[in-house]
Amino acid sequence: MNNKTEKKKRKFLSDEEKMEIIKLHHLEGVSQCELARRYDTRQPVVSRIISEFAAENDKSALLMKKHTTDSLSEEINALRNEVLELKKKLYDEPMRADFYDTMVDVAEEMFGIEIRKKAGTGQSKCEKSSGSRSE
């Protein structure tokens, strides 16, 4: 037989592996396809393991699903709060930039020095060196 027609040897999963699959699926929301890849098995096998567990342990499966929903809800709320906080910071940013420009304008006028570099001006050779000036 060539490689395409060879059947893959069946991999039997231990009880520990089955419990890991159930936990990863229900608690962390890992997809059945991803679990099949991780445990080197087929997706229908993973689906059967999850279904059998749910049938035998109605309360545990329900609690696991509720936990997943609750943690997802908490994560969504945390992300919403972060978005609101970032929007506030973004709203304040133009005002901070205007304040900085005004402060520089006042300092230039008050002290009679240019703080902002003019566009297109480069550094002299002495300024480019690492601080040692030879005079």
Query: For 17-26, what is each residue's pLDDT tens digit?
Result: 988 998 888 7
pLDDT at residue 117, as a whole number? 74
The letter for the amino acid at 127 is E
Name the more confident of 3 and 96. Answer: 96
Helix (H, G, I), strand (E, B) or coil at 101: helix
Which of these ranges, 46-50, 61-65, 71-75, 127-131, has the smallest mean pLDDT? Answer: 127-131
**Interior/surface letters 101-130, b for 16+ CB within 10 angstroms, e for the rest:** eeeeeeeeeeeeeeeeeeeeeeeeeeeeee
pLDDT at residue 101, as a whole number? 92
Q: Are 15 and 46 in contact (CB under 8 A)?
A: no
Residue 79 has pLDDT above 80, yes or no: yes
Q: Is the pTM for the entire model greater than 0.75?
A: no
